[in-house]
Chains A and B, each alone.
Chain A
Amino acid sequence: MAVTDFLLRTVGLKKRIALGYIVTGLVAFMIALLSYGAFTRLAEDFRQIVHFSRHSADNMAFARQMTEMQRQALIYIYEGHSSAGTQVGTIYKQMMDSILSSQDLDRIGAGAVVELARRHLEAYYEAFREVQRQRQLQDRLVRSEFRVHATRAQQLIEELTRQEAAQPETPGLRPPLPENSFLSFIPAAAPAGQGGARPASEQGYTEAERMLNGAKMLASLLQIEKNAYRYFDSYESSFIQAATASLEDTRERLQTFDGQDKAAELKEVLERYEITFLEAVQRTRGYLYLINVVMSAQAYETIYQSNKLSAMMLHETGRIQQEVFAHISSRQQLLLFSTALLLLFIALFSYLISRSITLPLRRLTETFKLLSSGSADAEIPPYLLQDELGDLTGSAASFKGKNIELLASKKELERSNDELEQFVYTVSHDLKSPIVTSMGFIGIIRKLAAQGKAEQAMGMLEKVVKANERMSQLINDLLELSRVGRIDMDKKLVDLNALLADFARSQAERLKAATFTLIIQPNLPSLFANESRILQVFENILSNALKYVRNETEGCRLEINSYDDAQLHHILCADNGPGIAAEYRDKVFGLFYRLNVNIEGTGIGLAVAKKIMKFHSGDISAEARPGGGAVFHLTFPRAEAGQS
């Protein structure tokens, strides 16, 4: 998977684990955040509902207060309690306050309604104030002017009546007065109205008549006042008629006193009395109109608007409720969905993280299994990061390296075992050979001796000696071979030019005897090698040449030359002898292998040379020389390369 590969390539093990925790934590935090958001939203919705509920409650209180205010207003008007009037003011203030405090109703479009309600309420209160004013005026009229006029009228009538009584002509008037006064207390309007006082004004009234009229006037006056108060108490308009009728009656009766000063004044007082009464009535009617029509209408309007507001709020509350339910359900779904999604993400991410840990571990386990079974070609899984798994991969790699080394050394061991076996086989054969020879000739000698051929037998003895000598030579050579790489093999830098110059000098005698030419070219390399062993290689090559090279025409010759390439020093030892056929070029380096059995030698020299060259990490091989002859080709690793 690409993500896993990416993680494996870029994020270390510890970081991967930490990343897993961090991402899980973040996701958990996101879930918490989402829940918080959902709850916050719900709480807000809830708050809005509560808010609206409060408004509804306020509104209901408003309607109730309106009703109460109207009731108080009516109490004030009809009962005259001034405290009820104050109550109206207080309620009005409360209501105005509650209207002002609910400005946020604008939001649901209820602002206009509230404004209307407020205006109606204001109008209502305005009307109420007018009512109060009118009532106060009426009250004042009724309580003071009206009273003043009534009292004055009564005074004047009493004075008029007293004047009559003071005149000599009217002494007998007094006794019936209380009777008449008493009489005037019975419903007197009708009889008074019926009273035929008219003729008295035209004709001269008698003193008794006037006395009676005065009493009746007083009674009418009382009647007027009584009816007026009745009206102000009950607002029954029939009382007004009754009062007016009594007033008319009083006026008529007054005519009896025409011509008297007091009568004229009384007339005037009565005039004002009527005016005052009518004005009071007028005021009363005014405020009754206000209260019954204007205030009722405004109260009705206010309540209507309030109800309208209630309906709106109810609707709004319903809407909010629906909205809240919708929110709850959508939040629920969102929360559920996003939580599920996030959990899924966590699961996926955890899977990736754990996979990024287990995958390389599983690969490594496979690799280690293979490695522990000794495999040298187990694939080391690629892992680039330097973390714990990287270390483990490194260990696997070094394990593999060890396995490869082990396999190589095992192969090397097998090869050297084979070599040893071959060596033992060869050695046993070549060591047996002189014994067979010795024993065979000893048998001949015995036979010859038995036949008395002592001379011949002695000649054969030489063969036995030769065979034994050869045997000892073989043993010495074998010992020499076994020393190579074991004894005295310290290496140092050897100047081949100097070494071979010495070598040529030491071999001069031998070369001269064999008429053999040794040519050593200059500019030979310096080698990091064991001096005496290298010398031995050249000795063996020279010995070989001395044995095999027979060239009558050119004269026997061995030429040592060299060249270098990038990795190796090449040293060529070319002779002009018979050469070595291609099929024997490897065999000549085998132990005891001789190309010509008639040329003396143990067949060990080149085997030794090979072993020495191998010890120096170099090699020796036989090649053909162009134009005849053999070339022994030596290679040494270059000093720089060899030492590094």
Chain B
Amino acid sequence: MADDEKKLLLVEDSDDHAELTEFYINDCRPALRVRRLRDGAEAMAYIEQAERLEQRLPWLVLLDLKLPKYDGHEILARMKRSGRLASIPVVIFSTSNSGKDIEQAMSSHANSYIVKPMEADKYGEVISEILEYWELNEHHHLLREPRESHA
């Protein structure tokens, strides 16, 4: 699958953080399309739509926890309960490093939990590592399930 066909779902309320994330994604994977959702309500609406329609599902979800209306935990739980979207890897990307948040996210089957870095230059590194990791994981996934890729 080429990068230009892949889509990353970014759920982020802060415009600044969204801009940063998009900048660094564009920096290392210019072909990767990013779909941004601003709050919990938009994310819920997206999930419900994705369940109903035969649209292309995102390859990866970057999910912030502290969101207006519905928070990240609620969205994560909703996604992992959904038959069609449960298999999409969800990376929690939040400023929170509290044990409670991590625990809750893991118990809701988050695929990864990354704390937003507070050091200069680190933000880009973290983004590229996330992408690299899940690209690698995807290849394993393809090897294991070849028929899925042809479809």
Contact = CB atoms under 8 A, between A and B. Distances in A.
Interface of A: 425, 428-429, 432-433, 435-437, 439-444, 446-447, 463, 466-467, 581, 583-584, 593-598
A595 B40 CA distance: 10
Given A425-B96, A429-B96, A593-B68, A441 B20 contact: yes
Interface of B: 13-17, 19-20, 23, 27, 38-39, 66, 68-69, 94-96, 98, 100, 116-124
Contacts of A447: 27, 124
Contacts of A597: 13-15, 38-39, 68
B121 A443 contact: yes
Secondary structure type dominating chain B contacts: loop
Contacts of B95: 429, 432-433, 436
Nearest to B70: A583
Contacts of B13: 597
11 contacts: A425-B98, A429-B66, A429-B95, A436-B118, A437-B17, A447-B27, A466-B16, A584-B69, A593-B68, A594-B68, A597-B14
Contacts of A442: 120-121
Secondary structure type dominating chain A contacts: helix
B68 to A, nearest CB: 5
B43 to A, nearest CB: 13
Contacts of B118: 432, 435-436, 439
Contacts of A437: 14, 16-17, 20
Contacts of B38: 597-598
Nearest to A593: B68
Contact of B122 (A439, A581, A596): A439
B98 A444 contact: no
A547 to B, nearest CB: 14
Most buried by B among A432, A583, A595: A432
Given A425-B96, A581-B69, 18 more contacts: A425-B98, A429-B66, A429-B95, A432-B95, A433-B14, A436-B116, A436-B123, A437-B20, A440-B16, A443-B120, A444-B23, A447-B124, A463-B16, A467-B16, A594-B68, A595-B68, A597-B39, A598-B15
A402 to B, nearest CB: 35
A249 B116 CA distance: 198
Given A439-B119, A443-B121, A433 B68 contact: no
A597 B37 CA distance: 12
A595 B38 CA distance: 11
A443 B126 CA distance: 12
A442 B74 CA distance: 32
B39 A439 contact: no
B117 A439 contact: yes
A279 B40 CA distance: 175
B95 to A, nearest CB: 4
Contacts of A436: 17, 20, 95, 116-118, 123
Given A437-B20, A467-B16, A446 B120 contact: yes
B29 to A, nearest CB: 16
A441 B118 CA distance: 11
B48 to A, nearest CB: 16
A446 B123 CA distance: 12
